[in-house]
Amino acid sequence: MVVVILVAALAVLALATQAGVFLSERAHPAQGRMVEVAGGALHILDIGPRDAAGPPIVMLHGASSNLEVMRQPVGERLAGNHRVILIDRPGHGWSTRARLQDSTPEIQARMIEEALTKLGVGQAIFVVHSWAGALGARIALDYPHSVAGLVMLAPVAYPWPGGVGRYNRLIATPVVGPLFAYTITLPLGMLLADSGARGVFLPQTMPDGFVRNTATPLLLRPREFIANARDLVTLKAAVAEQAPRYGEIKAPVTIITGDADKTVSTNIHSRPFAAAAQNAKLIVLPGVGHMIQNAVPDLVVAEIEAMIGALPPSVATVAAR
């Protein structure tokens, strides 16, 4: 009898999950275009004037999010004067990846480079947040011809003490992980989404309506939740492998981070990266937490504009190919 009740409960939760997926996707439809690449298809939102002077700005989001986190508020402001290309990382938002194990910055960098090539983008300014710090660094290492500059917001770049949460390891585990993801994760996550997001903003306050306005409920879809967990549990080994190469990065780098960030340590990641890269500028903000783009959007925009203004004139001529 207990087994029958358990199976029935899981069936109900699975049906509730599928209903939640349907409602989330209807509430947050894709806003851009899909670009097919080897291993998946990337959802790309291309905003701002295509004929703007200087290189386009490519914005890449971190874990547990999608391109809306980069669009609001910084991407929209930049789009007044620049071409801004916002990308859902593989497996996130509306982007897909054929294999959920394709979770490393190396693989995602290849997919993004292929998509940008198909869009005719030459050199670009890459603006990356959190998890995507490792991705931006990898793009600069493997595709230096594509990177006119790199702006890193609270980036992950090095191995860190500890793990990434037991629930991420659980979800990334074969068989057991999908069982939870396709039954419990979405109903439970809907209850906890607001409180979880507030914690990432501390000590700043989360903007009203942030979870809804940034399409965060899409994260709770089973396939995306598993992809996100895979990204997190494989990241430490990935940055350990690529970190010794950071001295090869020649593009200008600006790092903006907060000394109150409890999600990604400034001392473990930003300071060592600034010391390793050849042409890096480090800005450490007192009392600022992890969500740099929301806490100091004016500063982020100003630093991106300053980087573009400091580029040699030849860069603008090769920005589009």
Cα separation, 88 vs 28, in Å, equals 13
Residues facing residue 43 across a β-bridge: 34
- For all residues of the chain together, what is the average pLDDT? 94
Q: What pLDDT was estimated at residue 11?
A: 85
The pLDDT of 209-238, averaged and rounded, is 96
Pair 293, 73: CB distance under 8 Å = yes
DSSP string of 90-125, one letter each residue: TTSTT-EES-TT--SHHHHHHHHHHHHHHTTB-SEE
Amino acid occupying residue 112: I
Pair 59, 73: CB distance under 8 Å = no
Pair 274, 282: CB distance under 8 Å = yes
Pick from 310, 290, 1, 11: which is nearest to 152 by CA? Answer: 290
Task: Annotate 107-130 with b (16+ C-beta within 10 A) or e (fewer).
Answer: bbbbbbbbbbeebebbbbbbbbbb
Cα separation, 239 vs 150, in Å, equals 17
Pick from 204, 212, 180: which is nearest to 293 by CA? Answer: 204
CB atoms within 10 A of CB 260: 16
Residue 10: pLDDT band with limits 50, 70, 90: confident
Residue 190 has pLDDT above 50, yes or no: yes
Q: What pLDDT was estimated at residue 316?
A: 56
2-312 homologous superfamily: Alpha/Beta hydrolase fold, catalytic domain (3.40.50.1820)
Q: What pLDDT was estimated at residue 313?
A: 81
Pair 59, 86: CB distance under 8 Å = yes
**In degrees rounded to 5, what are phi and psi of residue 242?**
-95, -20
Give the angle subtended at the CA of 300 by the CAs of 274 and 285, to the nearest 5°. 60
Instruction: Quote the strand ranges of 199-301, DSSP E.
Output: 253-258, 280-285
Residues facing residue 127 across a β-bridge: 59, 151
Residue 73 DSSP label: I
pLDDT tens sequence across 248-292: 999 999 999 999 999 999 999 999 999 999 999 999 999 999 999
Q: What pLDDT was estimated at residue 66?
A: 98
Domain boundaries, the chain: 2-312
